[in-house]
Amino acid sequence: MSPPIVLAALPLLVVVIVNVLMTLVVLPRLDVSFLAEERFGATSLSAVGGVWSVVTALLAAIVTVIAVNWRRLPALRETMDAGANASVLPVLSVASLVGFGAVVAAVPAFDIVRNWVLSIEGGPLVSLAVATNLLAALTGSASGGLTIALEALGGTYMRLAAEHGIDPALLHRIAVISAGTLDSLPQNGAVVTLLAVCGATHRESYFDIVMAAIVGPIIALAAVIALGSAVADPAPIMAFVRIQPISDRVGGV
């Protein structure tokens, strides 16, 4: 007998709630000054807080699943073994792809790609979108492409944002949306895992994935870039509607 929809959705709700509580309530109240010591990695809460929150939330969700389905799991150990075995493929796939991305960023030819991206016309928002898309496509990973883009080009784009009067929050949103577009190429770990779990092949289902995970996000990205460019610099809109800025008219009086 299948569980009610409320019980089925409860673990997902637990993940969200525990993640928020860990991030906003629990972790900020902890004394984590020891993280600055060399033996603990000389890090900070801001660097590891996201991982701690997610891991705790997932652990709470696993406990919730076991608690609400105790009677439906007559062989708990075998069930957990099957889940652990099924997790090996996505873990190794994502880890290998992110590692591949790090190697790509380290090779000398990456400087050529970086210089080409920075020379793209259209402003920092367009070039950042292209750079993140390209890196996500090369690595087959949204997180890998975003990490490499921000680590390799973050300082450059922050300087460009200051020069062009662009809010860094807008840059962040453009980068995040861009990472979720061309990352869904056939070699993407999530795509491979999804097709394996569903018992489907690329030939049967990849076109649907392209429409849902690539075409749709690219359209949304183009809209965000257009709106962001208009907010950051009203000149394109002023030129489009052929209205001379008031400041120009006042200066010419």
Q: Note the pLDDT tens digit of each residue in 121-176.
A: 778 888 888 888 888 887 777 877 787 777 777 888 888 888 888 888 888 889 88
Q: What is the pLDDT of residues 176-209, one digit of tens each?
A: 899 888 888 887 777 887 888 888 989 999 999 9
Q: How far is CA 90 from CA 56, 103, 191, in A?
A: 20, 20, 10
Containing structural domain, residue 29: 5-74
Please choose, from the candidates 196, 88, 188, 90, the residue with its C-alpha nearest in 3D space to the C-alpha of residue 139. Answer: 188
Q: Per the domain annotation, does 82 fall within a domain? A: no
Residue 54 and residue 112 in one domain: no
Q: Is the Cα torsion angle 14, 17, 22, 25 positive or negative in sign?
A: negative
pLDDT of residue 88: 82
Say if residues 151 and 196 touch (Cβ distance below 8 Å). no
Residue 210 and residue 112 in one domain: yes
Q: Per the domain annotation, does 167 fall within a domain? A: yes
Phi and psi dihedrals of 182, rounded to 5?
A: -75, 5
pLDDT-derived band of residue 1, with 50, 70 and 90 as boundaries? low
**How many beta carbons lie within 10 A of that of residue 190, not counting itself?**
18
The total number of structural domains that make up the chain = 2
Say if residues 137 and 90 touch (Cβ distance below 8 Å). no
Tokens 């075998």 locate to: 78
Residue 231 and residue 110 in one domain: yes
Q: Per the domain annotation, does 156 fall within a domain? A: yes
Residue 51 and residue 119 in one domain: no
Residue 130 and residue 207 in one domain: yes
Lowest-pLDDT choice from 53-57, 98-102, 177-181, 243-247: 243-247
Distance CA 115, CA 230 (A): 26
Structural Rg of the chain based on CA atoms: 23
Distance CA 187, CA 95 (A): 13
Residue 216 and residue 129 in one domain: yes
Distance CA 91, CA 189 (A): 9
The b/e string for 83-94 (b: 16+ C-beta within 10 A; e otherwise) is eeeeeeebeebb
